[in-house]
Structure 1
Amino acid sequence: MKFFKDKKNMNSFKKLGVVFVVTLLMVSCNDFGSINTDPNNPSAVKTELLLTNALRSISGPLAAVDPVLYVQHMSETQYNESSRYQGVNYDFSGYYTGPLRDLETIIELNTNDETKASVTTGGSNNNQIAVARIMKAYFYQLMTDRWGYLPYSEALEGSDNFTPAYDSQESIYMDLITELKEAVDQMDNGGDVSAGDFILGGDMDRWAEFANSLRARIALRMSGVSGMAATAKAEFEDAISDGVITADVWYPYLSSSDNQNPWYARFITRTDYAISDVLADTLKALGDMRATAFADPAPDTSNANGSTELFEVIGLDYGLENPGEVTNDEVSFPGQALRAQNAPLAIITVAEMQLAMAEAAENGWTTPGTAATHYANGIAASWDQWGVTGDGTALTAYMANPEVVYAGGAAGMDQIAYEKWVALYGNGYEAWSEWRRLDHPQLTPHPFPLNQSGEIPVRHGYPTSEAQLNSASYEAAVSAQGTDDTTTNLWWDN
């Protein structure tokens, strides 16, 4: 039997066969491409994941131990080297390679014409850029308030610049204000950033309030610098007018080991920190019920009724050479409001903003109310934050205490500074910054210091690697700012 009647038909079939094989190969290649794509390792960067990762970096510094010890909110129960100021040099590289790099990548992907259309699953381009700029400002302020001069304008250039210059704290502060204002201005009604935002749920109105609150914080912090009062006043008033937070901003934790509160983790196998006598005794003397949230009852003093009363809170002496001589049963450890596994930590609060406005009003700046009103509002907001207001009886009694009633003038400023010191319990770096700036309350340095000055640190030293790997920039910064140790005052700390 002949399958082909002639040579021409045979050639036609051969051609058809070639087309069929090529088509089959093309389809097969496409199919294999799908099979060989790992859905768990996408080649395209998802900006929502970058945002989530950057936001997770808030947790470490928010729950840092050293500044909590500097401001004497807590005492160390055993190894008290940090309380005695042993640490000098602290690394900042993790900020640059971690959250700042992630946030800069978000900005780049949402700006580049070749990528910006493909990343809108994370929100509109403008809103993603705005949130990234706000969070960069948050981290950079935290950093410059620790080290002062920093790589800033030349940072994040990767292999293009391994030796970035340092910028002054003044120039960083002024640019942060610009960044925060421009970030709010560029927000639009497009897609929100809820896919990657576990802090504010993608609510752009709250992001704008958060940015304005950070701007108010920055403005007030530089208000005491010679020649900066007018600028600070204008920026603060503008931020308040634009609208600051009306609800506390929290970092949430979960009842799982991957996302648990760092204070909880520290107490799983150890009990290294107790509330200090400096804080506990002051709160108890004023009838301040926040002490019952700040600390658990001391076992030896507890009435074991399931609730904490003021007399049960016993602080550990801040300044013991060997605190291990005091047993755990004799002192109060941090309360569950701070160290439960899923207890959230406050990033910025209504109490802080109200007390900031109290200070501003006392300075003669324009605020919604008087200094006395904002002062009272700040105290009430702090009590609410810590869940101790109850029926209001104890708060009313506290506010009526002659030492608490707002005095105005210099005495009033000291009262505001004191209330900030209390309200910022659990947010060590902010408490440390405000204590350095306001110089109140008066804290006595540890009597057995391990640093040369014997004074409470007012700055962190640069990582030792900078002197070796970025020597020219490092030396220029030290020459301009002062000795690279813990005694050199920052630009705003005068």
Structure 2
Amino acid sequence: MKNTILKSILGVGLLFSVTSCSDFGDMNVSPNSPANPNTASLLTGVLRNVGSTSTNIMPALYAQQFGDVTYIEESRYKTVQVDYNALYTGPLSNLQYIIKLNTDEATKSTAAANGSNANQIATARILKAYFLQYITDRWGDIPYSEALKGVDNFSPAFDTQQAIYNDLFKELKEAQSQFDAGKTVVGDILLSGNVTKWKKFANSLRLIAALRLSKVDPAKGKTEFAAALADGVIAANADNIKYTYLSEANNEHPLYNNYITTNRKDYAVSSTFVNTLVKLKDPRLPAMAEKNINGEYRGVPYGVFPVTWKAQDVSLAAPSMRQQNSSVNVITYAQVLLAQAEAAALGWTSGNAKDLYEAAIKASLEQWGVYNEADYKAYIAQPDVAFTSAKAIEQISVQRWIALFYQGSEAWAEWRRTGFPVLTPAANPLNGGKDIPRRMAYPATESNLNKTNYNAVVTRQGKDDQYTRVWWDK
């Protein structure tokens, strides 16, 4: 991590440096190196990472929403060490810089051209929390309180996931309260500076994070869940947080890039996922999967080697969700309703778990564009779908797994937390283990360049492999 962070700092320094000469006026001032960094451009650059974070394919493979088509490796867990340095040196460093520019007396007035200082800081804090929760959910204990210090600390210690979660609750709560009535934020390609939507985003993130504590610290989870709900969460599909790609090669949908631009077709909908939806006669199947060359829904066999099929033989992701400029879901109304249904089933709230569960299914069908009342009523009346208190957590979890299609990181996290749906590991894993991974191993830069802190976290958290569980995964 040390070398990567140093390069990033040097790069930022070069980007914002200005060369001038008094004898020649502005002749030597580069128009590409502004004296005053543009916080709007920095924010736009950060937000371009949201789509890829939400749709990262490796967790979707672990959750068995997708499977490999040709190279049967990642569904057999070949990659053990996964790098997170780019998130620290990219979006997180830029968010920290946005906060700095809007805080320092020397720069805050200039920065305010792109939105009130408070609104920019609040937006940046929410996004920092979003990325950091994504990292800690995948790796466990991570550099947090000592991270993003630049030259002041090239070897940050690792915070416990429990401490990180406690601080994330604080950051999200404070940030959603920090917005003011000043100028809206410029450069916001996610929510167009809409303060109400940013607040709902922050509070919904808190809600989901609180539920992560259901087994490890239910008392804390219950308190934080109630507080987030009271502050106002996503309350309709119109509130859904989505990242929309563009009809141009530099910012196109990842599946469009894989299926069309590069013509690789590396991933298809897994047999696990397709078979579940077929069994349940799920109306969402056509919106999620494409029929194969024979006009059938056939998921790619999960983690099976050797390959006896071609891409044309299996169901790729549905065309409607993988156009060049398609949107991807970050957090949705159905997801929030399912969280509320589970909280009610756990006794955390006074809500009606059955009503919330059925409302979540309806919201998901509407979100995927397949809702009609007759199909909906028939669907929720099926024995495997009809709500029963005795199987509430399992039923809610299975519906969440379906609703979170192509939100792989969330689907994997919720599967680890609940154990549902019941998934069978790949037959012959390539990582030396036998089970589905529970975390990612740290990048090699930590053991090479941050060895003292790396050794400390391994001693505390456990072996740095894919099977040491993160704090909330009990």
Do both share a fold (TM > 0.5)?
Answer: yes
Corresponding position: 1:217 with 2:199: no
Alignment match of 2:305 (pick from 317, 321, 324): 321
Corresponding position: 1:270 with 2:259: no
Corresponding position: 1:359 with 2:339: no
SS in structure 1 opposite 2:330? strand
Superposition pairs of residues 315-394 of structure 1, within 5 angstroms: 315-323=299-307, 325-366=308-349, 369-389=351-371, 391-394=372-375
Aligned position for 2:188: 197
Q: 1:327: how far off?
A: 2.8
Aligned position for 1:5: none
Letter aligned with residue 361 of structure 1: A
C-alpha deviations, 1:215-241, integer Å up to 9, x for none?
A: 11111101210xx21211111011011
CA contact 2:67–2:267 (8 Å) conserved in 1: yes
SS in structure 2 opposite 1:33? coil
Alignment match of 1:187 (pick from 154, 179, 183): 179
Q: 1:35: how far off?
A: 5.0
Aligned position for 2:222: 233
Q: 1:78: how far off?
A: 0.7
SS in structure 2 opposite 1:314? coil
Aligned position for 1:6: none
CA contact 1:146–1:459 (8 Å) conserved in 2: yes
- Please give the alpha-carbon distance, in whole angstroms, between the structure 2 residues aligned to 1:344 and 1:165: 37
Q: 1:289: how far off?
A: 1.3
C-alpha deviations, 1:167-203, integer Å up to 9, x for none?
A: 000000000000011111221111111x210111100
- Say which structure, 1 or 2, has more relative contact order (CA 8 Å, 6+ apart): 2
- Please give the alpha-carbon distance, in whole angstroms, between the structure 2 residues aligned to 1:80 and 1:152: 35
Aligned position for 2:131: 139
Change (3 A) 1:32 1:75: same
Alignment match of 1:397 (pick from 371, 378, 389): 378
**CA RMSD between the two structures:** 1.4
Alignment gaps of 5+ in structure 1: 1-28, 303-311
- Please give the alpha-carbon distance, in whole angstroms, between the structure 2 residues aligned to 1:31 and 1:159: 34
SS in structure 2 opposite 1:421? helix
SS in structure 2 opposite 1:353? helix
SS in structure 2 opposite 1:347? strand
Aligned position for 1:279: 273
Q: 1:121: how far off?
A: 1.6
C-alpha deviations, 1:65-89, integer Å up to 9, x for none?
A: 1111111111211101101111111
Alignment match of 1:428 (pick from 397, 403, 408): 408
SS in structure 2 opposite 1:208? helix
- Please give the alpha-carbon distance, in whole angstroms, between the structure 2 residues aligned to 1:328 and 1:218: 37
Corresponding position: 1:489 with 2:464: no
SS in structure 1 opposite 2:470? coil
Q: 1:33: how far off?
A: 3.1
Aligned position for 2:398: 418
Name the % identity: 46
Letter aligned with residue 424 of structure 1: L
- Please give the alpha-carbon distance, in whole angstroms, between the structure 2 residues aligned to 1:87 and 1:329: 26
The total of aligned residue pairs comes to 449
C-alpha deviations, 1:109-161, integer Å up to 9, x for none?
A: 11101110111122111111101000000000000001101110000111111
CA contact 1:437–1:492 (8 Å) conserved in 2: yes
Alignment gaps of 5+ in structure 2: 1-20
Aligned position for 1:309: none
Letter aligned with residue 315 of structure 1: G
Q: 1:36: how far off?
A: 4.5
- Please give the alpha-carbon distance, in whole angstroms, between the structure 2 residues aligned to 1:338 and 1:155: 36
- Please give the alpha-carbon distance, in whole angstroms, between the structure 2 residues aligned to 1:429 and 1:82: 15
Aligned position for 1:39: 31
Letter aligned with residue 381 of structure 1: A
Structure with max Cα Rg: 1
CA contact 1:63–1:263 (8 Å) conserved in 2: no
